[in-house]
């Protein structure tokens, strides 16, 4: 950039200044100055202006400082996004990181002013998704799953106890029925002897 300015741009400025001095009519010069400046240049000495020796100095690197600072700041934002407590604090405030904006800002480091915020309000759908994926919601789902599994185990145990009770009752009923059935036969055997 510096080489281009030194070898091309500054010589071009001198050539343009020379052409303006030789070919620009005084009337046009006054109109330009009056349009651009707040003062009235009616008494402007265009001869002195045309004969002036001008030194051009171009500060090409002056705009690079803010871009350099922005470029140095972007990794900090990346670290911020990768920090769970910061992202949780943003989510608790109803904010979400706008990655498209972040990428666009990286692209605009060429010097364009870009004033959109990095965070925007969450939509209702995004809030529901965040709530469903929060550590508390995941823990609640695990507790519900464990509770459901425990309930299934309890129900299976109750069914097992009930079926054992039924089989014992059936066994006892069969035993009593056999005893009552066998008892008259035993009484007849005693009577017959």
Dist CA 32 CA 25 (whole Å):
11
pLDDT average, residue stretch 132-141: 80
* Percent of all residues in the chain with a pLDDT value above 90, rounded to a whole number: 3
What pLDDT score does 66 carry? Answer: 62
The span from the CA of 2 to the CA of 57, in Å, is 12
Amino acid 94: pLDDT: 92
User: Is residue 57 classed as helix, strand or coil in its secondary structure?
Assistant: coil
pLDDT over threshold 80, residue 33: no
In this prediction, residue 118 has a pLDDT band, given cuts at 50, 70 and 90, of low
pLDDT tens-digit profile of 18-27? 888 888 887 8
Average pLDDT over residues 7-13: 87
Q: Which pLDDT belongs to residue 40?
A: 61
Per-residue pLDDT tens over the stretch 138-173? 888 788 888 888 888 888 888 888 888 888 887 888
User: 64, 2 in Cβ contact below 8 A?
Assistant: no
How far apart are the C-alpha atoms of 110 and 68, rounded to whole Å?
A: 10
Give 110's DSSP letter: T
| pTM (predicted TM-score) | 0.30
pLDDT at 48 exceeding the cut of 70: yes
Q: CA-to-CA distance for 144 and 142, rounded, in angstroms?
A: 5
Residue 190, pLDDT > 70, answer no
Query: Each residue of 52-87: pLDDT tens digit?
Result: 888 877 766 655 566 677 777 778 888 888 889 988
């Amino acid at each position: 950039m510096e080489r281009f300015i030194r070898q091309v741009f500054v010589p071009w400025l001198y050539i343009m200044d020379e052409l303006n001095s030789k070919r620009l009519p005084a009337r046009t010069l006054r109109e330009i100055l009056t349009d651009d400046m707040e003062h009235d240049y009616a008494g402007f000495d265009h001869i002195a202006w045309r004969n002036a020796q001008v030194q051009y100095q171009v500060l090409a690197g002056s705009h690079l400082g803010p871009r350099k600072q922005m470029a140095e700041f972007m990794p900090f934002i990346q670290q911020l996004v990768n920090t769970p407590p910061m992202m949780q604090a943003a989510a608790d405030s109803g904010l979400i990181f706008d990655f498209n904006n972040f990428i666009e800002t990286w692209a605009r480091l060429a010097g364009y002013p870009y004033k959109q915020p990095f965070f925007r309000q969450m939509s209702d759908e995004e809030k529901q998704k965040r709530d469903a994926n929060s550590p508390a919601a995941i823990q609640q789902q695990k507790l519900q799953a464990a509770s459901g599994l425990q309930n299934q185990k309890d129900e299976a145990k109750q069914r097992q106890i009930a079926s054992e009770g039924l089989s014992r009752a059936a066994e006892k009923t069969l035993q009593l029925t056999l005893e009552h059935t066998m008892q008259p036969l035993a009484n007849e055997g005693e009577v017959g002897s």
